[in-house]
Amino acid sequence: MEGDRGSYSTSSRNWQRGSYRTRSGRRRKRRRKSWGERIADWTRALIAFLFSNVGIVCLVVGYTIAGAFLFTHIEGRNNLDVVGDVIRLRNLTAAILWELTSRENVFSERIWKAKVKAILEDYQKKLVTAIKNGYDGSEENKRWSFAGAFLYSLTVITTIGYGNICPKTKWGKVVTIVYAIIGLPLFLLYLSNIGDILAKSFKWAYARCCLCKCRRRPLETTPRGSVQDANDVRRNHWQFVDVDGREIDSFDMDKEISTEGQVAGSSESGSDDDSSSYDPQRVTVPLTLCVAIMIGYISGGAILFSEWEDWNMLDGSYFCFVSLSTIGFGDIVPGDKIYSAQGFDLSFIFCSMYLMLGMALIAMCFNLMQEEVIAKVRSVVRTVKYIFRCDR
């Protein structure tokens, strides 16, 4: 026994080291994967992670950060060039006016005014052109800082599109088109997955905390194919009780049965056995609760934005609603605290997180409201069918 055990441990060690001995005593090495196979395995693992729930969130955030660096490089440099051109134009115009005033005959007021008017009109035209190219009157590049470019990238893929900043260069417009083509499906996938996760989690919490506790009644032994009344069928399913132990009539929540009390054939009996257990995901959330969640989230954002941006509650609520509904008029947008941030400012991080989480929360509420409406419609249809059968 000890010899066998020792030989087994020796062979296992040889196998772990990548080789093992055959009966003939030859040492054979385990086949190692080539670099192509390793790269293919790593690629499959990376794709599987990226399209998981955590991976999609990381992918959206990483894609937005990449867009921020890209637009900062393209539009930020152009904005600095425009600002430098405006400063040089202003200094040159002031020098020309001073030279004209010192050189021109002061007694010829009409000629002096005509020349000054021409100089100022030329300055005005060039300044309007600079404003169209992105000049906003500031001496620094505030609009296309990292924080401003990140918020711009986020508004592109979320289809909010405030319009307070937009690309002015040809490359910026081309990159925006390509960036949106890739980013829109990615963000829709994020909304679908995260909204579905939030909906399932909220339904579980609602069924666990807000409805009641549940326990299983012992099953009644009834021969297959026999006729049961409605009370017998009810005893074969989950029975809900509240916190005090009182029974709650929740039979319609478990499954849809015939109100006449007849048991269907073998094909339907299999599905009845599968649906006899209580599933929290089959619980529907009331519409009023979904609306309350959306109103509460908008109100909370309005309070925080009104503190940061010096808005009143109406403007804050209006901004949050317009943003989360992706209307994005752009008449009220986050101000200088976000666009002047040169690093990871708190307001810049909060605004981005508020928009991403809020849109997923809105998608969750719409999903729950859709299920509730469908359940109500089915309940009305069953009631109408039952009344029609009773009349016949």
pLDDT digits 0-9 by tens, 302-312? 998 888 888 89
Q: Are 372 and 297 in contact (CB under 8 A)?
A: no
User: Above pLDDT 90, what percent of the chain?
Assistant: 25
Mean pLDDT of 75-85: 77
**Residue 385 pLDDT:** 87
Task: Name residue, tokens 């711009």.
Answer: 152
Mean pLDDT of 24-29: 54
Q: Which amino acid is at 51?
A: F
Which residue did the predictor score with more confidence, 348 or 302? Answer: 302
Which residue did the predictor score with more confidence, 103 or 105? Answer: 103
Q: Is the pLDDT of residue 365 over 70?
A: yes
Q: Is the pLDDT of residue 167 over 80?
A: yes
Among 77-81, 338-342, 363-367, name the most confident range. 363-367
Lowest mean pLDDT among 131-135, 325-329, 342-346: 342-346
What is the rounded average pLDDT for all residues in the chain? 76
Q: Is the pLDDT of residue 208 over 70?
A: yes
Cα separation, 77 vs 24, in Å, equals 72
Tell me the two tokens of residue 334.
Answer: 């986050």
Q: Which amino acid is at 312?
A: N
For the chain, the straight-line distance linking the first and the last C-alpha, in angstroms and rounded, comes to 83
**Residue 266 pLDDT:** 40
Q: Is the pLDDT of residue 24 over 60?
A: no
Residue 293 CB-density burial (10 A; 0-12 exposed, 13-18 middle, 19+ buried) = middle
Among 94-98, 292-296, 332-336, name the most confident range. 292-296
**Residue 71 pLDDT:** 93
Does this model's pTM top 0.75? My answer is: no
Q: Is the pLDDT of residue 227 over 50?
A: no
Tell me the two tokens of residue 335.
Answer: 């101000």
Q: How confident is the model at residue 152 (pLDDT cuts 50, 70, 90)?
A: very high
**Residue 214 pLDDT:** 44
Which residue did the predictor score with more confidence, 323 or 32? Answer: 323
Q: Is the pLDDT of residue 32 over 80?
A: no
